[in-house]
Chain A
Amino acid sequence: MRLYLHFFAMHLKSRMAYRKSFFFSLVGQFLSAFAAVASIWFLFARFESVRGYTLSECMLCTGVVLMSFSLAECFFRGFDRFSRVVREAQFDRILLRPRGVIFQLICQEIDFARLGKLLQGALMLAYGISVSPVSWTPARIALLAAMVLSGTLVFASLFLLYAALCFFTLEGLEFMNVFTDGAREFGAYPLDVYGAALLKFCTFVIPYALFQYYPLTYLLGRTDNPLCALAPLAAPLFALPCYAVWRIGARRYQSAGS
């Protein structure tokens, strides 16, 4: 942990060397999240509700997804550049060091521009909580926290899977963005909006619905099924197959030899 803080300070210093560009990209991140929220707001201004969800209910959902995505992104997006690490055989160097491989990769790329998004995510979540019709009890707050954390884990697992696949393909698979950036974009709405087939996919294949749709219906009082409240606990199981792919890939790794 101390080592991580050390890396953190190092990256922060190197970013601060270019203060203006850092500042602008922070503003930019902020604006792009703002544009996404604005478009949700525009749609609700016109239609008032979608599938019975009102703007305030949807904002709670947006807040949860945005917050967990930006948390995952802030710490785990370093895996995005992993294709380069494999191709240029830098992975050899990482293997030689006396620390966990995943830990080192997390340390390698800490992107502070994403702090803008983190801030936006936190603000969005706070806003969602304040406008939502839910009357907050300690149990509900705990459920909300579980949703955010389990969402972070799901997104982090996806980033790990993305990197693990690089062992096999040697290049980044752009289509994986559908499952990360796409999920952030479309996860802003409760997932049953997109129809039953997609909801099933998001329950059993990639468990977005376990931290978003099911606990949300429980929070909003649409269901009393306690299983829905426990769903966020099941979502982190998704990390297991992702980690397995990573292990298989790492074992298969033969240096690129350059």
Chain B
Amino acid sequence: MRAYLSFFRMRLINGLQYRTAAYAGIFTQFFWGFMEIQLYGAFYRENPDNFPMALPHLVSYIWLRQALLRLLDTWTMEQEMLDMILSGNVAYELCRPTSLYGMWFARHAAQRLSATALRCWPILLVAALLPDPWGLRLPPSLGAAGAAALSLTLSLGVVTAYTLIVYFSCFFTLSAEGTRAVLMPLIGLMSGELIPLPFMPDGLSRVLSCLPFAAITNAPLRIYSGDLAGTAAAQTLLLQAFWLAALVLLGRWMQGRGMRRLCVQGG
């Protein structure tokens, strides 16, 4: 376990180096969130009765999504790791006395965390200071805050496990680009990144919220604002835990299969 923690730390420190890119990213994400809230606001004024979430819940959802974009987005891939698989350098990683899956899991999770740790604070701070319907608000209760923290941790696990599955698919397809190009927009839609799931037609949103992708963005952000509370929140947390376990198992299985093929290719 200690070995994985130090991989995690190494990557975290490495990621904290790139500050300028982070500042540009903050501006972009803030502006994006602002525009999107304006847009939903216009829809709200037009037809407040059809609004599927309370307006403050939605606003918190968008601000949090912008602040935590790098933590939860489903398109971040590390070229370095893909190259390792493609060039056969993954063999070096296999020489290490730790499990490849555990090591990469720690590494990728740290990468996401460090990118977010740099970027989220200014957005959270400014969003929290905005006047009432347009600002980020604290969760309604301590319980909700705790549940949101737990859910966010599970989300990080799910999105990391998902990313590793895409990496390992490289063992079979030898190029992540295609897989990524096709998956990215669909998963973005299904995880609640593009629009919050409740804004979709009811049947579709009910189906999507059971899929693993909803465990990434949809779950923690809605639990935070109290949009999902009580039993609904508990169910969502359980579902997240289930998908985390399932995706980790699937990833490990793919890694095992991939390793066997890798030997055939000779590395």
Task: Contact check, B42 vs A29: say whether CB atoms are below 8 A apart.
Answer: no
Binds A, one of B8-16, B162-170, B181-189, B227-235: B181-189
* Given contact pairs A25-B177, A173-B24, A46 touches B50 in the complex (Cβ within 8 A): yes
Nearest-CB residue, chain A, relative to B198: A46
Q: Which of B145-203 contact A (CB under 8 A)?
A: 175, 177-182, 184-186, 188-189, 194-195, 199-201
Interface residues of A, count at CB 8 A: 37
Q: Are B185 and A31 in contact (CB under 8 A)?
A: yes
Residue in contact with A193 in the complex, picked from B38, B178, B188, CB distance below 8 Å:
B38
Q: How many A-B residue pairs lie within 8 Å, measured between CB atoms?
A: 101
Instruction: Find out whether the CB atom of B52 lies under 8 angstroms from the CB atom of A46.
Output: yes
Contact digits for A133-167, partner B, Cβ 8 Å, 1 yes 0 no: 00000000000000000000000000000000000
Chain A residues contacting B25 (CB-CB under 8 Å) are 174
B35 and A27 form a contact (CB under 8 A): no
- Of all chain B residues, which has the CB nearest A174? B24
Asked if B21 is at the interface (CB within 8 A of a chain A CB), the reply is yes
Chain A min CB distance to B178 (Å):
3
Assess the B35–A194 pair: CB atoms within 8 A. Answer: yes
What is the CB-to-nearest-CB distance from B205 to chain A, in angstroms, rounded to a whole number? 9
Question: A43 to B42, Cβ gap below 8 A?
Answer: no
Among B28, B39, B184, the residue within 8 A (CB) of A177 is B28
Which of B182, B188, B189 lies in contact with A27, CB distance below 8 A? B182
Closest-CB distance, A112 to chain B (whole angstroms): 13
Whether, in the assembled complex, A38 has its beta carbon less than 8 Å from a beta carbon of chain B, the answer is yes
Q: A25 — which chain B residues lie within 8 A by C-beta? A: 177-178, 181
- A28 near B43: Cβ-Cβ < 8 Å: no
Do residues B42 and A193 form an inter-chain contact, with CB atoms below 8 A? yes
Cβ distance A28 to chain B, nearest Cβ, rounded Å: 3
Chain B residues with CB under 8 Å of A178's CB are 27-28, 31-32
Check: B46 CB closer than 8 A to any chain A CB. yes
Q: Is A32 an interface residue (CB 8 A)?
A: yes
Contact among A35, A42, A46, A174 with B21 in the assembled complex (CB-CB below 8 Å)? A174
Main secondary structure of the interface of B (DSSP, over half): helix
Determine if A34 and B199 form an interchain contact, defined as CB atoms under 8 angstroms apart: no
The complex places the Cα of A51 from the Cα of B25 at a distance, in Å, of: 31
Q: Does A98 contact B (CB under 8 A)?
A: no
B47 within 8 A of A: yes
User: Does the CB pair B42–A51 fall under 8 Å?
Assistant: yes
Q: Which of B19-47 contact A (CB under 8 A)?
A: 20-21, 24-25, 27-28, 31-32, 35-36, 38-39, 42-43, 46-47
Any chain B CB within 8 A of the CB of A50?
Answer: yes
CA distance A241 to B93 in the complex (A): 52
Q: Which residue of B lies closest to A33 (CB)?
A: B185
Structural contact, B39 and A189, CB atoms closer than 8 A: yes
Which residues of chain A have C-beta atoms less than 8 A from B43's C-beta?
43, 47, 50
The reply to whether the CB of A21 lies closer than 8 angstroms to some CB of chain B is yes
With A174-B21, A174-B25 in contact, is A28–B185 under 8 Å at CB?
yes
- 7 A-B pairs (CB sep. < 8 Å): A27-B182, A28-B184, A28-B185, A48-B46, A48-B50, A186-B36, A193-B38
The 10 closest A-B pairs by CB, nearest first: A28-B181, A24-B178, A32-B185, A174-B24, A35-B185, A31-B185, A194-B38, A193-B42, A47-B47, A39-B195
Q: A28-B178, A193-B42 are in contact. List 5 more A-B contacts (CB 8 A).
A: A27-B181, A36-B194, A47-B43, A47-B50, A178-B31
